[in-house]
Chain A
Amino acid sequence: MRKTFVVVAVLALSAGAVMLARQAGAQGGGTVEVEVKYNGAPVVEKIKVNKDTEKCGKETTIEKVVVGGNKGLANAVASVPGAKGGKAVKGMIDQHGCKFQPHVVLMTPGEIEIKNSDDILHNIHTYSTANPAINKAQPKFKKTMTEKFEKPEMIKVTCDVHSWMLGWVAVTPGPAAVTDNNGVAKIENVPAGKQKVEVWHETLGKQEKDVDVKAGQTTKVSFEMKGK
């Protein structure tokens, strides 16, 4: 009886120690600041709107390549695919002003909440191969719905009612971030050590670099994407 108690206590203690160690590891991770530059012209198509103009505006844009200050490339996903087991991130996308907002949504495998704050019909039409492709109507009275994307994948999302609407859901297993208008993304909680950092852009493709991440420090790495 006493033996069993000791075994249980030891087990509990060691489990606690492992958890503490893990947390310490996560805290001890570093930050990777990724800068993505693009040496080309932005690609933004202007579209005349022929319906729902009170919600969508009379003119709208399809943002394929957005280039900001200092040639920084926006809407690129920087991730560390090797670093699994981090914090779960639930996806959240809104259909607002007949646009997917944000243009690129980050999530770890699991659930995504899809909002329709436009008060008109949209349909969520995904083009995916690893996850089941969906095409579900979301009429004005269905303000939110939840879908599951369990496999890592870059998923294109469109709305057939408003054909200019284009968004991406980046399902990444590890820590990730999306570049801002200056082309900068900060990936936090990256485990220390040698890591592969990957940058992906919807039209410009993918690049990879090895980065030596130091705990508690910010490591900078820059990429340059080329037009096709």
Chain B
Amino acid sequence: MWRPTITAHLLRWLVGPSLRRGRPTPQSGASSPPRICTVLVGLLRPSVVPVSVCVSFAASLSLAAPGAFAQGDANAGKAVYELKCAGCHGVKGDGKGPAAELLLPKPRDFTAGIYKIRTTVNKTPTDQDIFRIITDGMPGTSMPPWSVLPEKDRWNLVAYVKAFAGDKLKEPPKKVELPKEVGSSEASIKRGKEMYEAIECHKCHGADGRADGPSRGELKDEWGHPVPPANLAKRWNFRGGHSRTDIATRIANGVLGTPMPAFLDAVEKPEDVWHLTNFIMSLGPDAPHYATLLTVTAVKDAIPDDPNAELWKKIDANNIPLMGQVIVDPRNFNPAIDLVSVRAVYNDAEIAFHFTWDDPSNSTKGDGKTTFADAISVQFPPQITGGTERPYFLMGDGSDAVYLLRWDADKGASEATANGPTKLAAVKGGEVAGKATYTNGRYQLVLKRALAAQGTERPTFRPAVFTPVAFQAWDGGAGEAGPKMSLTSWYYLRLEEPQSNRKFVIPPVVALLTLAAMVLIVRAARSRATNT
């Protein structure tokens, strides 16, 4: 194996990042200037050597000397690989480790030399590309970030995983040349949307980017595994990162080994790559900003059933992450629904929950074998005591039941109690109303019930009490039903104190009375002074 020379060591040290643990990826946003720049600028003052000039000089230096970064030792990488990577990727690097069976997307088969995330226009990724995926992981997949490993180990891994491909990566990497960056603006987003429609991104990614395009079910990767299109409204799950450059690079180069083609030469004008990037970034937030406590807002007026009513737009959304149910059989290792957005309000008679979640297929019934009706439920203890004891979060157990407000695309809204995920019983005499809409890969639903309830099966909701709450969701179109679901553990929700006029009345009254008392005291004191 090739051993790094002293010159290569020195060069790498100089053009390497100033911070040892910093991410030396220009693509991933925050990066530190190369060490050589810190040294030079420190010696000569920034006016003599501007940092930016030095950074580009260092970049050219590292390009001119391939191997300056790429000097991992494959032999040393082997030990780390077998300890940390072989479980999924296999000892032979063929992606067939013992855990591979349960994973989707499947672990990379390094022997094929096909890398999804590249900054190159040809098959061969740069070493930096591989290093970056090892360091940052792949969001939305089972590949975790390995930044806990020493940087040297990660470079050694790069050399080792590349070796699995033999001469399939013999062609040197050819960096993509992105057109000049165009910043985001209303006009750019508009142009991006036009181009999105003209080049028919919606065929796979859907009209609003929620992965619900008509070709979505047919997509397969190089190995024949189903590969769904990315939900462009949830960019924090983008496999290769979600900075502007990351997104533009994916559009330009495509994602190798998947149906996502390269669009660099397939847009009307080169800068359309940036307009598309700006449009995609306008489709959703940068991060899910998960909630910890759900506040139920007090309202005075009647609560609308319509999920698109104006009221719901004024209420803050609480984003709740969902996980696959992997405790009882059948387990759901690859849940389809990973997030539900919850809004909640109450008035003096009713409480209502507004749910928004993405589901690429509108499955109202299914065939009952491989597809089922889409569904969602919200779970409470049967009685809300304010104490810390709660039923088992996985839809209760034999000794303690839970109460569920359910909606399914076939039967609509209902109330149930459950003593486990397969032991549901309908609650009779309930009065739950539900109304749902489905547009371009997104469900919106309102579930509404009376605040007060009779009997021991159904809770009564009271203001200012910490109320345990949990959620479950099923993508019936993806074969989810029964225990095969996405779910949360217990959260808390709290009905905010009812709005009253007292806060506007009492403080002024107290202030007035205090003023009056002060006037009286002053007068009394003055009259005593004149009397003496």
Contact = CB atoms under 8 A, between A and B. Distances in A.
Contact of A160 (B171, B219, B262, B265): B219
A16 interface: no
A133 B200 CA distance: 23
B503 to A, nearest CB: 58
Contacts of A125: 259, 261
B360 to A, nearest CB: 14
B263 interface: yes
Contacts of B275: none
Contacts of B256: 135
A138 B203 CA distance: 13
B262 A137 contact: yes
A70 interface: no
A135 B259 contact: yes
B243 to A, nearest CB: 22
B199 A139 contact: yes
A161 B200 contact: yes
A160 B261 contact: yes
A197 to B, nearest CB: 32
Interface string A104-134: 0000000000000000110111010000111
A146 to B, nearest CB: 11
B interface majority secondary structure: loop
B200 A120 contact: yes
B195 to A, nearest CB: 9
B268 A51 contact: no
B198 interface: yes
A136 B123 contact: no
A51 B254 contact: no
A209 interface: no
A194 interface: no
B262 A132 contact: no
Please indicate which of the listed interface residues A160, A161, A163 has the most CB atoms of chain B within 10 Å of its own CB. Answer: A160
Across the A-B interface, the 3 shortest Cβ-Cβ residue pairs: A160-B259, A121-B200, A163-B218
Interface string B180-203: 000000000000000000111001
Please indicate which of the listed interface residues B259, B260, B267 has the most CB atoms of chain A within 10 Å of its own CB. Answer: B259
A132 B123 contact: yes
A141 B215 contact: no
B430 interface: no
B215 A51 contact: yes
B149 interface: no
23 contacts: A50-B214, A51-B203, A51-B215, A121-B203, A132-B171, A134-B262, A135-B254, A135-B256, A135-B259, A135-B260, A136-B265, A137-B199, A137-B263, A139-B267, A140-B198, A142-B266, A145-B265, A160-B204, A160-B215, A160-B218, A160-B259, A161-B203, A161-B215
Interface residues of A, number: 24
Interface string B132-165: 0000000000000000000000000000000000
A155 B266 CA distance: 22
Contact of B259 (A123, A127, A139, A142): A123
A160 B254 CA distance: 13
Contacts of A145: 265
Interface string B229-272: 00000000000000000000000001010011111011110000
Given A51-B215, A137-B266, A139-B198, A132 B203 contact: no
Given A141-B198, A161-B204, A133 B261 contact: no
Interface string B295-338: 00000000000000000000000000000000000000000000
A134 B260 CA distance: 11
A136 B122 contact: no
B251 to A, nearest CB: 10
A163 to B, nearest CB: 4
A142 B200 CA distance: 13
B256 to A, nearest CB: 7
Contacts of B199: 121, 137, 139
Contacts of A50: 214
Contacts of B222: 127
A133 B124 CA distance: 11
Contacts of B198: 139-141
A77 B350 CA distance: 74
Interface string A136-158: 11111110010000000000000
A181 to B, nearest CB: 29
Contacts of A161: 200, 203-204, 215, 259
Contacts of A133: 123
Contact of A139 (B171, B200, B214, B215): B200
A138 B263 CA distance: 8
A67 B184 CA distance: 56
Contacts of B266: 136-139, 142
A121 B267 CA distance: 12
